[in-house]
Every structure is written in C-alpha cells, then in structure tokens.
Amino acid sequence: MTAIQVPAPDNSEGMTRFRKSRDTLINVGRGNLLLCAWSAVKYLGRVIMVAPRELENILESATSQEVVVTKGQLILLMIIMLAIVVIVTSLPRAIVSLSAIAEGRGKRRGILYLILSAGLIFYGIMEILTLIIQLLPPQKEDLVLDVTIATLIIDVTSVVLLVEMLRAVFQVRKYHRSENSREAQKG
Amino acid sequence: MQVDFHYYATYCAAFIAGWSHEESLSIADSAQFVDCCSRTLLDKVGAPTAAATTQLQLELMESGADPLSLQNITRIWASFHFLPANLFAERKKCSKQYLNKYRLICNVNSTLLADTVELARGRSLEAVGVAMHILADTWAHRYFAGTPSLVINNTGLDFYELVPDGEGFRERPVHFNNNPASPDDPEKGLYTNSLYQWDENSVMNLGHGRAGHLPDYSYARYRYLPAWGEYREIVKDNPSDYMYAFRQMVYALKCLRKKGIFFETDVYDTEAVRPYEDRIREILEKRQLIASQDWKAFGESLSGQPIPDFTTETWTREYSEASKENRDDTRLGRFILAALAQKSMVTNRIFKSGSLLAGISVNIEEKGFKGVQVYRKLLKLKQEEDVHD
C-alpha cells in the first residue's frame, strides 16, 4: 500500500490576499450591521426622550379647532413615522452589510449593494462635514458637545468601514476574474 | 492522539525497537497514563497533585481565567501534549503578549523534543513512556499551542476534509457542532469542536479544541486556516504524520536502550519499520474513530503475547497499598518523578525565554529555594545520579 500524496496548500500572495479580503468582508459586514442597530437605537432614544416633550408643545400651541386627534393617537402616529424613518435609513445599510457577508462567504452578488455603499459613503461624508461645521463657533454654544462628538466618531467609523468593504470587494472580484481567465486559458 | 496510538502503537514501536514484551507494556502503559493522570486521580490516592499531566473537562471548566489558573493550564498542556517548537521564534509587528503565545506553538523535531527524550535516558520505563507520549503528540498536535488563546488556536471557517477518491482526493467541507454528546461521523463529515468563545483566554481556545478531534484521528487529512497563519493554509496529512511519529518512536526507543547513542531530531528508523509498513499504513488509513483493535492485533502478532487492555486501576491500587517510604518505587511513584522532571524542564525553558505564561521557574539547586516540597524529590534524584556518575 503506497502513501497517497496530498495536494500542497496554495499560499501564493494572491491567494492569501484573497482570503484576507474575504474575511474583511465578513467582519466589516458584521460591523455595519451593528451600526444599523446603532441607528435604530438613536431614533428610539429620540422617541422616548424627545417626542413626549415635542408632543406637549404641539398640543399646547394648537387651538381647539386644530386638535382633531387624541394625545394617544398622536403618539402612535409619531412612533409609526419614526419607525418608517428608521427602516428607510437602516435598510440600505442592512442590505449592504448582508450582501458583504454573503460575498465574503462565497456567494456572488451584483452591483446594487456597491452603489448603495457609495451612496452611504457620500451621505456619511456629508454628515461628518455638517457635524464639524456645528462644532465650530458660534454654533458650538448651542450643542450638546459629547453627543455630537460621539456621533462624529461613529459616523467616521461607518465611512471607514464602508471604504474598507469596497476595497475588499474589489480584491475579491479581481481574484475571481483572474481565476476565471486562467481557467478559460486552460480550456 | 488517543489510546490506540499512545498505548498499542507505542507497544508495537517499543517491541520493534528491541524492548521485551514486559518492558514494552510498561512503556506503553506509561505513555497512555499521561492522558489519565489528572489532579482528581492523584488527589484520590494521596499523590502529589503537582505531577498532573492532564486536566479533566470538569477541572478545566472549574479553572478560572486568572493568571495563576492559566499558568497551571499552560504548564500541563505545553509540557506533555503541545511541546513548544521554538521558544525564540520571531514575529514582526506584534505585541510581546502575542509573541509569547506564538512561541508556544507545537511542532515536530524541536530541540525541546531532543531534551525530552534524553531526559528519560537511564531512568525508569515510566519516564520512557512519558517521553514517547510527548513525541507522538508533537506530530498529531502540531500547529496548536498548549495555552488558551483565541488568536493562536482558532481556525477559520474554511475547513475541508480531503477524502480519498480513487487516485486523488475529494474535498468535503467539515461541519462542526458543539454537542460533545453527539459522536463524530466520518462518513458524513460531521465532527464536534469546542464552542467559539471570543474571550482570548477561554479554555475553549486551548490546544486543538477548535479543530475538534480531527488531529487525533489517524485517517484524517484536512486543510484549514490557523488563526496565527496570516491567511496561509495548512494541509494536515495525519496518515503520513503518524507514520513519521511511529518511525521516530522506534528510533528514540532504540537510542534509549543503548548507551552512547544520543537522540537526534529528524531521524527516523525507516529500515526497522519497513517490513510492517503496509500493515501500519492500512491501520492508519482506515476511516475509523479508534483503531485500538487493529493496533492490538498487530502488536500481538509481533510479540505473540496478549496485550491487556489499558486500565488506571492497577496504577492507583499499587500506589495506595504501598507504604509511604515505598511509594516512589511503585509505577505511579516513578511516573510522578518523570512527570515532575518533564514539567520542571519545560516550565524552566518557557520562563527563560522571557515568558510568564507557564509561571515562574526557580532553580532549586542554585537558589536553595524550598518552594514546592515535591519538586525537591527531583533535586534528590539528580544528586543521586551525579554520585552514580
């Protein structure tokens, strides 16, 4: 009985880079999912802390002819609206995150989520610039400083994650293309 | 490795190396006992618990993640099951903490292995058995470290078994589950591994837990990404590695039988094993979780004598029934001395490399330190050996 030769591992530079990029996609995807949760928490925080006060202000300033709904109904309406906002703002990020994770696990994905990522990056940069401007005087006096700085840090993290994700996607797809052309040449 | 290799295969290797049937049995018994000598067992018979060479699952679960507990775990597992290959390995762009753990990665043919084998020279058959266990485990457990560490011992999601298919191999993804009660199923590629724990020092990240029992199955061939590997894959060929382990054991056992022939690493007694190679290969390649019956049949065909099943009862009974003065002359007593010597040597080497992962090591001879009383037996033994020389 002779010994069977096992195939040698492929540890070429291209292959290790491909594996690293695939891992990055999965990790970044998971990180982005956490940021979705952060967006939801942020809006929920507003619902719980800010909405009742705003509602009181609306009801106090409204005249008797303007008040056609009860306070409970107004609260419900506000919750529904905020839920829609959360879904609409989180959905693109969730799509991007899940697609990145799926691509990292070897499933092929189209171009849509890359376009969404580019959009989210642009949106993120705009948010960062807005926050930076807000931090400059004289606007600074009106701010809750620590909340603004925390939001800035998270927005920067979000943009960095998305850029890293795009870089990893291009590496993975570049590797697949080179493999396909190598297979085509062999055939 | 499991009882099939540590006990039966070690018996076969010892017999081929020229030891008698009784000597081979003693060596094999001791080699297997390394996997049984836990603190619980030693405590039960009133033996020094510092000589423990393994830890039961319950002991590991009770063990905390505090530095002292981690040092205790590392002392045991690095000394007897995951012998470090290079305590002065270099790695760029990493912290000292990471480097210390990286240096504990087990691999074959290290200088520490040579010292382990030579430590058994001129000592009891139990000491020889301990050395053979450690030698065999360097082949099975290579690429893992005997310290709890996620960043060293974790494995990637890409884990494929290479199943023989005609002249070549078919790749099949390995599906791990975390239920220790469900048996591994080699036919379906279903195996159990330890639960993923993101805590760096969790006992789930000790040794090859994340790869399940695959390193201990002689038939297994698989490829995976180790956490320390920087995305470089490893292909583990157990049938080949186990064959090398067997040949090296035969060589080591021959060296220990003869005076003046010192064990060298990367030397294998291929000639002595050649007549039995086909039979051994058949045993190693057979897809079964435990190959004890096959190895036992082979061993009995070699010596023509029956090989009793392994049991710890005879060890503990003999020790318990002996008087206190005579305990060192029992099998367990001699095993304890060998285990203490081995643990002391490896702990000392790890400490000298600048790592505290195995704790502090003190040279009793030089420092005159009283320390753990039981280790003073080693000093007494060394003094007796020096007088004899």
How do residues A86-106 score in pLDDT, each as one tens digit? 788 788 889 999 999 999 988
Tell me the chain B residues in contact with residue A175 when contact means C-beta distances shorter than 8 Å.
Answer: none
How confident is the model at residue A140, as a pLDDT? 58
Mean pLDDT of B154-176: 90
> Mapping DSSP to helix (H, G, I), strand (E, B) and coil, where does residue B95 land?
coil
Tell me the chain A residues in contact with residue B242 when contact means C-beta distances shorter than 8 Å.
Answer: none
Which tens digit of pLDDT belongs to each residue from A10-64? 899 999 999 999 999 999 999 988 888 877 777 777 667 766 677 777 767 766 6
B381 has a pLDDT exceeding 70: no
In a domain, A3, yes or no: no
Nearest CA of chain A to the CA of B157: how many Å?
Answer: 9
Angstrom CA distances, A148 to A114, A120, A139, A154, stand at 29, 19, 12, 10
Q: Max Cα separation, chain A?
A: 97
In a domain, A5, yes or no: no
Number of domains in chain A: 1
Distance separating alpha carbons of residues A181 and A183, to the nearest angstrom: 5
Tell me the chain B residues in contact with residue A4 when contact means C-beta distances shorter than 8 Å.
Answer: 164, 167, 169, 239
Which tens digit of pLDDT belongs to each residue from B268-278? 999 999 999 99
B280 inside 8 A of chain A by CB: no
In a domain, A30, yes or no: yes
Q: Of B151, B144, B157, B160, nearest to B209 (Cα)?
A: B144
Closest residue of A to B167, CA-based?
A: A4
The crossing angle, in degrees rounded to 10, of helices B238-257 and B125-140 is 160
Q: Say which of A4, A8, A105 has its CB closest to residue B164.
A: A4
| Cα dihedral across residues B383, B385, B387, B389: positive or negative | negative
In a domain, A182, yes or no: no
In a domain, A184, yes or no: no
In a domain, A82, yes or no: yes
Model-level pTM?
0.87
The crossing angle, in degrees rounded to 10, of helices B111-119 and B331-352 is 150
B230 inside 8 A of chain A by CB: yes
Mean pLDDT of A139-156: 76
Distance separating alpha carbons of residues B349 and B337, to the nearest angstrom: 18
Contacts of A144 (CB under 8 A, 6+ apart): none
For the record, the structure tokens of A184 come out as: 């085509």
How confident is the model at residue B387, as a pLDDT? 65
Kindly list the strands in the beta sheet with B168-173, ordered across the sheet, starting from the edge strand earlier in the chain. Answer: B168-173, B155-165, B221-226, B234-237
B237 inside 8 A of chain A by CB: yes
Tell me the chain A residues in contact with residue B157 when contact means C-beta distances shorter than 8 Å.
Answer: 105
Task: Please calculate the CA angle B339-B343-B348 and round it to the nearest 5 degrees.
Answer: 150
Distance separating alpha carbons of residues B239 and B278, to the nearest angstrom: 12
B221 inside 8 A of chain A by CB: yes
How confident is the model at residue B291, as a pLDDT? 95
Which tens digit of pLDDT belongs to each residue from B190-207? 899 998 988 999 999 999
How confident is the model at residue A186, as a pLDDT? 74
Cβ-defined contact of A23 to B231 (cutoff 8 Å): yes
Pairing of strands B155-165, B234-237: unpaired
The crossing angle, in degrees rounded to 10, of helices B331-352 and B125-140 is 50
Per the DSSP assignment, residues forming a β-bridge with B236 are B222
Cis peptide before B164 (omega within 30 of 0): no
User: Of the ranges A20-29, A59-68, A172-181, B69-78, which one carries the lowest mean pLDDT score?
Assistant: A59-68
If you write DSSP's letter for every residue of A82-143 in order, what string do you get?
A: HHHHHHHHHHHHHHHHHHHHHHHTT----SHHHHHHHHHHHHHHHHHHHHHHHHSTTGGGGS
> What residues make up the domain containing A41?
23-177
In a domain, A183, yes or no: no
- Dihedral, CA atoms, B311, B317, B319, B323, nearest 10 degrees? -170
In a domain, A89, yes or no: yes
Tell me the chain A residues in contact with residue B240 when contact means C-beta distances shorter than 8 Å.
Answer: 3, 6
B42 has a pLDDT exceeding 90: yes
Distance separating alpha carbons of residues B269 and B306, to the nearest angstrom: 25
